[in-house]
Amino acid sequence: MITQIYAKLKPVINSVLAGLVGLAGGAIIMALWGYPPIAAYNALFSAVAGSMYGFGSTLAQATPLILTGLTFAIGVRGGLFNIGAEGQMFMGAIAAVAVSTVAMPVGIHIVVSILAGMLAGALWSMPASALKISRGIHEVISTIMLNWIALYLGMYLVVDWLGDPQRAEKSISAASTARLPGMLSGTSLTFALIAAVIFALLIYFVVWKTTLGFEIRVVGKNPGAANYAGINENFSINSTFILGGMAAGLAGALQIIGHPPTFAIYADFSTVRNLGFDGIGVALIGRNHPIGVIFAAIFFAGLNVGARTMQITAGVPLEMVRVIQGVIIIALAAPELMNLWSRLTPGLKNWISEVKGS
């Protein structure tokens, strides 16, 4: 009985232990450079859990990370190293702004914005999928390139098409009819969080409870067995990309319609930039499981929110805070990273040797 409970809790215990190791590592680094570790961590925790404002900010920052984390997590489940969440998220954000140029009633406008964001994200993942299926091009290469294309295309669109006529540095803001209501007054937390959590649960259902998810997982673990089982590998790859793209696109859309006070994209994309890449870390910490990803995103956001307080209260420079964050994240992500490395490198190596050969 005890062993069974232990087996169930093992991933959770591992994660908690890894987190403690990370915190200890961060403390050692701080001590070495002469900063007070206890005061710093105290500042971190009180920033996150000490006030409603900090707590609300943490959850607000966690919202897009849940979704971009899902993009990477579902990719891994389907055997892909999809690091295209960044670009797909940009496209989702742009789509949400674009929808705001049209007038619509309150509820419908929100739904249309969300759907447009998911559609844009999914569409932006399709070139990578098509290149992989038709030409065997590894998704790491194609998604990185698509991320850059999305960024510069996005900048063009924001400045030249969706630009705010009065303020050159940003796009127009989401229409008031498209904005999600706030959840906690005085903070930037909106109902976007609920949308993200619902989407995570939906992904959990699709991946573990449906035949589509079964196919995705079989292809991800063993393409040979998938073929034997009569599973269409290409369809499965497409589905994995589309689901991941929808998650990233939704992240982008929610950053527009659920992100006060501006509800807009800046021309330098500063409010959305790197959320896609952070999603990779979030997915690794959350062991590529939708429920794990939710908690990992909150943890990740907590570190970000606490960073400023650590600087102000404990006098730890922001750069040092980033180093400590890195240590903690590496400690947490290490177990999953090892799994991933051994699983995905042979594919990449084969691909490289094929390219060299041809």
Partner 1 sequence: MSRIQTRKELEQKEVLLRAEGISKGFPGVWEHLILDEIDFDVRAGEVHTLLGENGAGKTVLANILSGFYSSTGGKIIINGEEVKLQSPQDGLEHGVGMIHQEVMLAKPYTVAENVALGTDDSDLSNPVSRVEREITELSKEYGLDVDPTAKVEDLSAGGQQRAEILKVLYHRPQVLILDEPTSLLTPLEAEQLFKVLRGMADDGFGVVFITHKMDEVMEVSDRVTVLKLGKTMGEKMITETDEEELTEMMLDEKIPIHLERKEFEDREVALSLENVHVTGPRGNVQVNGVSLDIKEGEILGIAGVSGNGQSEIIEAITGLRDIDEGSLIVQGEEVTDVPPRKIQDKGLAHMPEKRREIGVVEEMPVGENMVLRNYRHPPFSHYKVLDKEAITEHSERIIEEFNVICPDIWKSETRILSGGNIQRMILGRESWEQPPIIIASHPTHGLDRRAVSNTWELFMDLRDAGSAILLVSEDLDEVLSLSDRIAVMLDGEIVGVVDADSADKNEIGMMMTGA
* Interface residue list for partner 1 (CB under 8 A): 1, 3-4, 7, 209-212, 214, 217-218, 221-222, 224-225, 227-232
Indicate the burial class of 295 (C-beta count within 10 angstroms; 0-12, 13-18, 19 or more).
middle
Give me the least distance between CB of 242 and partner 1, in Å please.
Answer: 15
Question: What separation in angstroms does the CA of 200 have from each of 21, 66, 68?
Answer: 28, 8, 11
Shortest approach of partner 1 to residue 49 CB, angstroms? 35
Q: Which CB atom, from 112 or from 216, has the smaller least distance to partner 1?
A: 216
Closest distance of CB 21 from partner 1, Å: 23
Residue 53 sits at the vertex; the CA angle it makes with 48 and 56, to the nearest 5 degrees, is: 75
Comparing CB distances to partner 1, the nearer of 222 and 270 is 222
CB of 213 to partner 1, least distance (A): 8
Measured between alpha carbons, how far is 248 from 319 in angstroms, rounded to an integer? 28
Separation in Å, CA 145 to CA 52, 138, 159, 222, 331: 40, 11, 22, 27, 29
Which residue's CB is nearer to partner 1, number 221 or number 322?
221
Per-residue DSSP letter, 80: -
* Of 4 and 185, CB closest to partner 1: 4
Nearest to partner 1 of 229, 318 (CB atom): 229
CB of 105 or CB of 224, closer to partner 1? 224
Q: How far is the CB of 211 from partner 1 (least distance, A)?
A: 5
String of DSSP letters for 314-327: H---HHHHHHHHHH
Question: Could you tell me the smallest distance in angstroms from the CB atom of residue 179 to partner 1?
Answer: 35
Q: First vs last Cα of the chain: how many Å apart?
A: 56
